[in-house]
């Protein structure tokens, strides 16, 4: 007689215990609770905004020229409505989470933040044009402007960052981070939405780049893969918790190039304008303008594999 070797699973009971977990209530997003947007809603907002900034480039086919104005108007109306609603929910969540004593203006703040982003789109587009030119002129492998726009991960990451940064400056909770982490998952480039980045910014290759929240980057800066602009340490309060909202990440001035694998740490660290930071350099202090910083070249040991070592 064959006996069943598997254990029966009581799905209903397991579901009941999961649903009844009181300690887990802060991580449940329900219509009766926080009503936050699911991540895919924010992803769709990003896709729609990029479609407006670069019509026909991020969809399935080219855009008919005579339909451009109508398309942009329609898409912007849809995005503004969705975004305003979701920003308001994010502000209300923040009020609950931080036990806000001055609730009542979440809708007003959401309207202001949405307006700030919509009215910033032209400036964002103009800045991105400079980023695109920097990538095209800075990469000998680039064969056309459209190759940069449609395929370069560095540009994809900075597109998203320039949108998320506007919302970050409006103190919108959650949504800017969801946007930046979506770009991170797609490109391998991690840019916190709080970082301030000037025009003409180019990330070549890009995988493994990390740019921290309080980083400040000037104009015409170029980074290669694996560069970290990070924090040197995390000052703590009297209870041992990291202090938030202080300057922790470096300043990179205009016309700086930072090569692959370099790590630059600390809120008081400044890389002077026109400097060149070599691959795998580790810096925790400032360097003056027009510096050239490289590690000493290691001397390789070359032997003949057929000759026994002496």
pTM of the model: 0.86
The band of 42, judged by pLDDT with boundaries at 50, 70 and 90, is very high
- The rounded distance, in Å, linking the Cα atoms of 153 and 155 is 5
Report, as an integer, the average pLDDT of 23-51.
76
201-258, pLDDT tens digit by residue? 999 999 999 999 999 999 999 999 999 999 987 778 888 888 888 999 999 999 999 9
Record the tokens describing residue 212, joined without a space.
Answer: 């921290």
Dihedral (Cα; 42, 165, 189, 246), 10-degree rounding: -120
Domains of the chain, earliest start first:
34-187 (1.10.3130.10), 208-310 (2.160.10.10)
| The pLDDT of residue 109 is above 90 | yes
250-306, pLDDT tens digit by residue? 999 999 999 999 999 999 999 999 999 999 999 999 999 999 999 998 888 888 888
């Amino acid at each position: 007689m064959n006996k069943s070797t598997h254990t029966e699973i009581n799905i209903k009971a397991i579901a009941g215990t999961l649903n009844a977990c009181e300690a887990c209530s802060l991580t449940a997003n329900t219509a009766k609770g926080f009503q936050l947007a699911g991540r895919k809603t924010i992803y769709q907002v990003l896709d729609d905004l990029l479609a407006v900034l670069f019509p026909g480039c991020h969809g399935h086919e080219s855009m008919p020229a005579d339909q451009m104005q109508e398309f942009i108007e329609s898409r912007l109306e849809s995005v503004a409505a969705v975004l305003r609603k979701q920003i308001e929910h994010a502000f209300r969540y923040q009020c609950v989470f931080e036990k806000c004593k001055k609730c009542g203006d979440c809708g007003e703040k959401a309207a202001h933040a949405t307006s700030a982003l919509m009215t910033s789109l032209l400036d964002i587009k103009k800045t991105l044009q400079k980023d695109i030119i920097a990538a095209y002129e800075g990469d000998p492998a680039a064969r056309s402007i459209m190759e940069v726009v449609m395929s370069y991960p560095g540009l994809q990451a900075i597109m998203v960052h320039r949108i998320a940064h506007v919302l970050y400056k409006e103190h919108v909770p959650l949504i800017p981070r969801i946007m930046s982490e979506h770009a991170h998952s797609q490109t391998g480039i991690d840019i916190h939405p709080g970082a301030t980045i000037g025009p003409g910014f180019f990330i070549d290759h890009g995988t493994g780049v990390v740019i921290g929240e309080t980083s400040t980057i000037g104009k015409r800066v170029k980074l290669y893969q694996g560069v970290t602009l990070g924090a040197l340490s995390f000052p703590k309060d009297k209870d041992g918790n990291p202090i938030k909202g202080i300057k922790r990440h470096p300043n990179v001035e205009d016309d700086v190039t930072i090569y692959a694998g370099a790590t630059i740490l600390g809120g008081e660290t400044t890389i002077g304008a026109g400097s060149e930071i070599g691959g795998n350099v580790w810096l925790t202090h400032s360097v003056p303008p027009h510096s050239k910083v490289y590690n000493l070249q290691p001397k390789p040991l070359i032997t003949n594999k057929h000759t026994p070592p002496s």
